[in-house]
Structure 1
Amino acid sequence: MTVAEKPNVVYILTDQWRAKATGYNGDPNAVTPNIDRLAAESLDFTNAIGTSPVCTPARAALLTGRFPTTTGMFMNDIPLSPDEQSIGKAFKAGGYDTAYIGKWHVDGYGRASYIPPERRQGFDYWKVLECTHDYQNSEYYDGNDPTLKVWPGYDAFSQTDDACEYIRQDRENSFFLTLSLGPPHFPHNNAPEDFQNRFKPEDVKFSPNAVFNDPEAEAFARKEAAGYYAHIAALDGCIQQVVDVLKDTGLEENTILIFASDHGEMMGSHGHTPFKKQIFWDESCRVPYLLRYPPLTANQKGRKVSTPLGTVDIMPTLLSLCGLDIPKPVEGSDLSACIRQGIELEDHLTLYMSVSPFSGKNHTDPAYRALRTQRHTFVKTADDDIYLFDDVDDPYQLTNLSGSPETAQIKSGLEQALANELDRIDDPFREKEYYLEKWGYEVNKTGEVPYSR
């Protein structure tokens, strides 16, 4: 297969979009008709898990296929080594054109600083800012020009326009394009006004695991949720725009199209306030993950794949689907058989973690290591608390089964499986100070590495 015959890859990466917050997953608040249609044409990985559910660690795991304890990328605003054998470099080495548009957040040298080519992990076409959530005044750098520019209007719309122009370009090679959109990450008051006007706080319907005893806390959650769903509705149109341009250019058949997020958002579930992630609950760690590639998915449209897909599994899976070499340091698993053969990998599970919790909302939370299987979530915290959930019978994780005699054998088996996974990646699961000292990170009183603009 020549490079021109290999499939293109368009990877739409959103920020803080939890898996439940889509129409096709039954959320009554989510207005996502375009994404719902895409879901009906795609494989839906129902157990897609953020390997470390917060921005920088999740994005580093996506780029490297390696765990945070291996790369040191377990906190926000720290630099990913330019020596990593990243997904961008792997596609580039395979003859692909590479492009990245939008939020980056793995450079670690200031959220508005220029990122030189040697720190772009193999991506050539480059319209990027390290990090911003000022969606109506969003800055970026264009290629090697060190002058800040501003996306016009709501940045997700302009970034999607730019991605579509990139797709339309004539080229000899196949391409790997990442469109990295900032919403629906907070703030939740800066979606386009017409979308904000569609969602009223009093109309929000919370899931059964969001119970409020404080009227002020409920009012705050309702206000934030309305803005969250406004962002989601706005992005729904962006996804359709990409779908349309692939069809219009005749590239639909030979393009792997992915819609995903880096991590989720608690939004009041289990007593956790809006904006919170990092923790092990489903709303924080599970993300939407749709994959459409007509030559392989046309005969299994709408299939729900229950095999767990960790962030670290994405790089080897995509490289395999495109016939490219998987770098030896990659720790994730190639799950392409789920797509090629339409099977489930019954023994596969995914490890996820919080190594050194940080931020005003998270720094007092215990670190943890966790497993997701096709049916269960198993969690062990640094405080030696154990959680076991049956995610099929109890999708809102209301009942901790760790003390139940009926699940003792399941618990024992998962505890051993967790120990095996940690041994495989050489993670001793020690106190957070061990990892901070090992990687030389100095943190403030809320456990964060201080960052500059």
Structure 2
Amino acid sequence: MRNLLFLAAVLLLASCQSKKDELKPNVIFILTDQWRASSLGYAGDDMVQTPHLDEFAKEAVNFKNAVSVTPVCTPYRASLMTGRYPSSTGMFINDLYLPSEELCFAEIFNEAGYNTAYLGKWHLDGHGRGSNVAPERRQGWTFWKGSECDHNYVNEHYFENDNPNKKHWEGYSTYAIADEANKYMENHVNNDNQFCLFVSLGTPHFPHETAPEELKALYPPEKLILPPNVPESWEEKAREELQGYYAHCTATDKAIGDIISKIKELGIYDNSIIVFTSDHGEMMGGHDFRPYMKHQPFSESANVPFLVAYPNMGSNAGKLAEAAITTPDILPSLLSLCNIDIPEAIEGYDLSPVFKAPEQDKERAALYMNLSPFGIAFPTDEYRAVRTNQYTYVQTPDGPSMLFDDKNDFYQMNNLVNQPEYKEVQQKLEKQLMEELERIGETEIHPREYYLKKFGYYGREEFRENYHIDKVNNVKTVVSPYKTFEIE
């Protein structure tokens, strides 16, 4: 009898251990807006105060060469949700609707048994920035307190679940959204299913003057030191904006610190994947671009922070990954870490092996692009680019445009393109660029008109009005993957 009881106990223990081993991790994804990779204490910026993220960087893998697939809000977010490139989805302009036909982040996690929740800025609905993102257009997120787009941080609106009535976050919205994230986790920590929580914060995106006054006081404009690639003509304006930008950064750092503290307090830190990143950066006067400008292939715009912590990190905590990563790589990598099958439609790479061994794949090239920025000037309107652990290479429909040695020229002030001594480097980077484009079905670097016709945007009056698009000669009907548009 004793032997039978002992055997039963052993089997029960083994069963419990098996269930524990099969337990999928929670996912807490924290997305900020317009936070460039260089503007963090752990990244070497001695002026900005980001103590909570500096501490988190010691517990996470830090991808220093992360790039935004297109350094603009909507294209980045569409790529993040789908694991696909803007040239494949047609989501290469702000304020577009992400088609329901796309298989998205939350839909995959829902199918895997997760509870899913979205808080904050969405910017994928295309039905007006102040309008409600209707439940059927939320791409699978089941718990919802979000808005299409609102950067009024002292009176930011949102819609809650099925309620069609507009509400407003109380006080400074970044703090309020972080508080809501903590409430959600408290309410779901003991549920049978794991949760996937997406926290989308609007800061440090402008307007910068709305940052908390006590934090702006930390950054007197006259004491702020600007990078050497900011010309004298932008110095006064850049310092004025940088004061509020840094204050937003410090406030957002506090909000993220509160979320991470709550994860630890709830006892789920060791079984959670936590990501901190941003959709794009901010030129802030660099290379003679006004503050607020993104779009560009320069590091200030395209290089974004990316920290990831995951269960059983061990000695990887605090390590630096030099391997480049781009937006479509994020979703498949997270799915792999959660032992969820990666759908065939996803175009990004599964870089979870690099998450687990940050010294791997140092030479890989991460693809990013701008297909149709509508009149954004110098250095070029359209570009395709790759970033590696050392170089940034940019090409336009007219040919090679930029080559920077990012290790030896951090501020990208010495363009090496077409210089004889860098011929082999440029040839290698061009080969990597074209291989990545061909992998996703792009056989050449097309001009903007190609994609405007391909996805039917010339036939939509609102695009002609908003982006000053002229009619194309000899084009009568444009067929996109989702609709057919007639051009008058």
TM-score norm. by structure 2 comes to 0.88
Structure 2 residue corresponding to 1:322, chosen from 326, 335, 338: 338
- Deviation digits for residues 74-100 of structure 1, max 9, x if unmatched? 000011011211111111111111010
Tell me whether 1:265 sits opposite 2:282 in the alignment. yes
Q: Is the 8 A contact 1:363 1:447 kept in 2?
A: no
Instruction: Assess, with a 3 A threshold, how the Cα gap between structure 1 residues 72 and 242 changes in structure 2: closer, same or farther.
Output: same
Per-residue deviation at 1:364? 9.1
Structure 2 residue corresponding to 1:14, chosen from 27, 32, 40: 32
- Deviation digits for residues 30-65 of structure 1, max 9, x if unmatched? 110111011111110001100001000000010000
Q: Is the 8 A contact 2:418 2:426 kept in 1?
A: no
| Structure 1 stretches lacking a partner, 5+ long | none
Range 417-426 or range 312-321, more displaced? 417-426
Aligned residues: 444
Tell me whether 1:305 sits opposite 2:321 in the alignment. yes
Per-residue deviation at 1:352? 0.3
Instruction: Assess, with a 3 A threshold, how the Cα gap between structure 1 residues 42 and 272 changes in structure 2: closer, same or farther.
Output: same
The amino acid across from 1:202 in the alignment is E
Matches within 5 A, 1:91-106: 91-106=109-124
Q: Is the 8 A contact 1:363 1:446 kept in 2?
A: no
The amino acid across from 2:325 in the alignment is L
Instruction: Assess, with a 3 A threshold, how the Cα gap between structure 1 residues 96 and 448 changes in structure 2: closer, same or farther.
Output: farther
Question: 3-state DSSP class of the match of 1:12?
Answer: strand
Tell me whether 1:220 sits opposite 2:217 in the alignment. no
Per-residue deviation at 1:394? 1.4
The amino acid across from 2:231 in the alignment is V
Question: 3-state DSSP class of the match of 1:371?
Answer: strand
- Number of the residue aligned with 2:160: 142
Per-residue deviation at 1:197? 2.2
Per-residue deviation at 1:22? 0.2
Per-residue deviation at 1:333? 0.1
- Number of the residue aligned with 1:198: 218
Instruction: Assess, with a 3 A threshold, how the Cα gap between structure 1 residues 143 and 276 changes in structure 2: closer, same or farther.
Output: same
Per-residue deviation at 1:447? 2.8
Question: 3-state DSSP class of the match of 2:312?
Answer: helix
> RMSD in angstroms over aligned alpha carbons?
1.8
Runs of 4+ with >6 A deviation: none
Question: 3-state DSSP class of the match of 1:153?
Answer: coil
| Structure 2 stretches lacking a partner, 5+ long | 1-17, 470-488
- Deviation digits for residues 269-316 of structure 1, max 9, x if unmatched? 1111100001100110000111112412x3122111011110000000
- Number of the residue aligned with 1:382: 397
Instruction: Assess, with a 3 A threshold, how the Cα gap between structure 1 residues 430 and 380 changes in structure 2: closer, same or farther.
Output: same
The amino acid across from 2:373 in the alignment is P
Tell me whether 1:288 sits opposite 2:319 in the alignment. no
- Number of the residue aligned with 1:373: 388
- Number of the residue aligned with 2:410: 395
Per-residue deviation at 1:385? 4.3
Higher RCO by CA contacts (8 Å cutoff, separation 6 or greater): 1
Q: Is the 8 A contact 2:83 2:330 kept in 1?
A: yes
Instruction: Assess, with a 3 A threshold, how the Cα gap between structure 1 residues 117 and 347 changes in structure 2: closer, same or farther.
Output: same
Question: Percent identity between the aligned chains?
Answer: 43
Instruction: Assess, with a 3 A threshold, how the Cα gap between structure 1 residues 364 and 440 changes in structure 2: closer, same or farther.
Output: farther
Mapped to 1, the partners of 2:414 and 2:235 lie a distance apart of 23
Question: 3-state DSSP class of the match of 1:270?
Answer: helix
- Number of the residue aligned with 2:472: none
- Deviation digits for residues 173-219 of structure 1, max 9, x if unmatched? 1111110000100111111222222221111111122232x2xx321
- Number of the residue aligned with 2:204: 184
- Number of the residue aligned with 2:15: none
The amino acid across from 2:200 in the alignment is S
Mapped to 2, the partners of 1:12 and 1:174 lie a distance apart of 17
Mapped to 2, the partners of 1:28 and 1:208 lie a distance apart of 16
Mapped to 2, the partners of 1:107 and 1:289 lie a distance apart of 25
Tell me whether 1:354 sits opposite 2:374 in the alignment. no
The amino acid across from 1:179 in the alignment is V
Question: 3-state DSSP class of the match of 2:69?
Answer: coil
Tell me whether 1:83 sits opposite 2:94 in the alignment. no
> In terms of Rg, which structure is larger?
2
Range 434-443 or range 372-381, more displaced? 434-443
Instruction: Assess, with a 3 A threshold, how the Cα gap between structure 1 residues 305 and 398 changes in structure 2: closer, same or farther.
Output: same
Q: Is the 8 A contact 1:76 1:448 kept in 2?
A: no
The amino acid across from 2:343 in the alignment is P
The amino acid across from 1:378 in the alignment is Y
Per-residue deviation at 1:423? 1.5
Instruction: Assess, with a 3 A threshold, how the Cα gap between structure 1 residues 414 and 54 changes in structure 2: closer, same or farther.
Output: same
Question: 3-state DSSP class of the match of 1:41?
Answer: coil
Per-residue deviation at 1:358? 3.4
- Number of the residue aligned with 2:229: 209
Range 430-439 or range 419-428, more displaced? 419-428
Mapped to 1, the partners of 2:400 and 2:440 lie a distance apart of 22
Question: 3-state DSSP class of the match of 1:179?
Answer: strand
Per-residue deviation at 1:68? 0.2
Per-residue deviation at 1:401? 1.4
